[in-house]
Structure 1
Amino acid sequence: MFAASRRVFPGFNLSVGYTLVYLSLIVLIPLAAVIIKSGNLGLAGFWEVVSAPNVVASYKLSFGAALLAGLINALFGLTLAWVLVRYTFPGKRLVDALVDLPFALPTAVTGIALTALYSQNGWVGQYLESLGIKVAFTPLGILIALVFIGLPFVVRTVQPVLEDLETELEEAAASLGASRWQTFRHVVLPILFPAILTGFALAFARAVGEYGSVIFIAGNIPMVSEITPLLIITKLEQYDYEGATAIAVSMLVISLLLLLAINGLQAWTAKRTGRRA
Structure 2
Amino acid sequence: MKVLFFGDVYGKAGRQTVQLTLPELKEEFQPDFILANCENLADGKGVTEKTLNQLFNAGVDAVTGGNHLWDRTESLEYIRGQNRIIKPLNYPEDAPGNPYIILAKENLRLGVLCLCGQLLMPPCNNPFTALSEFIKLHFTKDAEQVSLFPLPYPVILDFHCEATSEKRAMGWFADGQLSAVLGTHTHIQTADEEILPLGTAYITDIGMTGSHNSVIGVKKEIIIEKFRTSVPNRFESSDLGLQVNAVCLELDSETGKALNIMRIRRNIE
Tell me, yes or no, whether TM beats 0.5.
Answer: no
Give 1 or 2: higher strand fraction: 2
TM-score (norm 1): 0.23
- Structure with larger Rg: 1
TM-score (norm 2): 0.24
Q: Which has the higher contact order (CA 8 A, sep 6+)?
A: 1
